[in-house]
């Protein structure tokens, strides 16, 4: 009898629970305007025949250096996005392992003439060099998106979505450096930010400034700013260091100061050089050294301890979002939008995770 009662009670409780769940679910079956969400979520009938009218969308992504591996996760992200929307994505770029905007522009001039292209994504490292490309694409009705490097002067900038890292993300490294000093119990010394404005990269200059400001603020908030000398040069864009011999330049900087306890480098030229300088001067594990990008040299330096940490640009997003942006412009008529990919701080403790899903 007890068993029968227990089963009945359980059934009643279950029934009550289901009833309450349905009553409190807050499910929405259709829009206030009367249409169904399922129907509204479908792709527009004309989308697959946009521009090329060949029954499928084809996007091209062109970078200024496909030869050093940095853009590999960008291409992965673009491929993932293409697979999600059923689009073909052409992965193109200069074969050079170093920046080669001239070759990129050559490829762009070819691809913009391709009648099968429905959307164009490109990096823009050489300010002012891409207006003819944009003009040609727009004349053919091909939407354009930029990624990674930013050209604020490009034709129709406000109408072109950009995906990339804002230089302010370098503040993350500055904040980490201050925490590192505290964790190591370092109470005084010099913090140097070597760089070179001669390279003409405004983004790098801004990174150095952002890191410098974050370091100063962090030390000031901790009441320790007077005990440290934070030096990023007269304009706070970096202590001028020879980009053609960055290792020796940083070693000389360390030796001239004699009390360096922290350092930050803002790009792929000076970050590996910073790590080598730390090793050569016997400061491995003794100072807080942070840099930029997550290439093989940076990863090895973090594993050895020559580099405390480095910031990644989350380049997967720099491939994924532009493809989705162009698709939304074509299928939904959504206006171009910008995405700040921020930064991923990687240290010795997390460096083994880099690249496991081809995302860094």
pLDDT tens by residue, 94-140: 999 888 999 999 999 999 999 999 999 999 988 899 999 999 999 99
pLDDT tens by residue, 258-281: 999 999 999 989 999 999 999 999
Q: Which residues pair with 36 in a beta bridge?
A: 30
Task: Give the model's pLDDT for residue 340.
Answer: 96
Helices first, then strands: H and E counts in the chain: 11, 14
- Rounded Cα distance, 143 and 331, in Å: 12
Decide which of 36 and 201 is more confident: 36
| Cβ neighbours for 50, distance < 8 A, ≥ 6 positions apart | 57, 118, 330
pLDDT tens by residue, 30-88: 999 999 999 999 999 999 999 999 999 999 999 999 998 889 999 999 999 999 999 99
Burial class (CB in 10 A: 0-12, 13-18, 19+), 82: buried
H helices of the chain, in order, are 2-24, 37-40, 72-85, 101-111, 131-139, 171-184, 202-221, 246-257, 270-280, 296-304, 315-332
Global pTM value: 0.82
């Amino acid at each position: 009898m007890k068993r029968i009662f227990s089963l009945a009670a359980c059934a009643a409780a279950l029934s009550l629970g289901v009833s309450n769940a349905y009553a409190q679910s807050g499910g929405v079956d259709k829009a206030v305007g009367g249409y169904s969400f399922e129907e509204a979520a479908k792709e527009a009938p004309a989308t697959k025949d946009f521009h090329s009218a060949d029954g499928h969308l084809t996007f091209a992504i062109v970078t200024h250096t496909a030869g050093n591996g940095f853009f590999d996760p960008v291409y992965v992200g673009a491929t993932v996005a293409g697979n999600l929307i059923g689009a073909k994505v052409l992965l193109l770029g200069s074969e050079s392992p170093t920046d080669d905007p001239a070759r990129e522009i050559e490829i762009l001039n070819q691809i913009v003439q391709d009648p099968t292209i429905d959307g164009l994504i490109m990096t823009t490292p050489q300010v002012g060099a891409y207006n003819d490309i944009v003009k040609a694409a727009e004349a053919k009705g091909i939407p354009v998106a930029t990624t990674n490097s930013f050209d604020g002067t490009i034709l129709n900038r406000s109408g072109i979505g950009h995906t990339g890292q804002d230089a302010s993300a370098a503040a993350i490294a500055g904040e980490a450096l201050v925490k590192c000093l505290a964790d190591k119990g370092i109470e005084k010394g010099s913090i140097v930010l070597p760089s070179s404005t001669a390279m003409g990269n405004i983004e790098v200059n801004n990174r150095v400034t952002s890191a410098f400001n974050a370091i100063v603020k962090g030390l000031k908030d901790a009441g320790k700013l007077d005990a440290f000398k934070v030096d990023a040069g007269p304009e706070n864009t970096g202590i001028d260091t020879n980009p053609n011999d960055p290792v020796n330049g940083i070693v000389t900087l360390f030796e001239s100061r004699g009390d360096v306890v922290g350092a930050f480098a803002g790009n792929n030229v000076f970050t590996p050089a910073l790590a080598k300088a730390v090793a050569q001067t016997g400061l491995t594990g003794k100072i807080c050294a942070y840099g930029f990008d997550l290439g093989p040299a940076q990863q090895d330096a973090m594993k050895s301890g020559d580099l405390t940490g480095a910031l990644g640009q989350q380049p997967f997003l720099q491939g994924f979002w532009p493809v989705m942006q162009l698709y939304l412009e074509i299928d939904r008529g959504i206006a171009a939008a910008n995405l700040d990919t921020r930064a991923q701080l990687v240290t010795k403790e997390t460096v083994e995770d880099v690249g496991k899903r081809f995302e860094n």
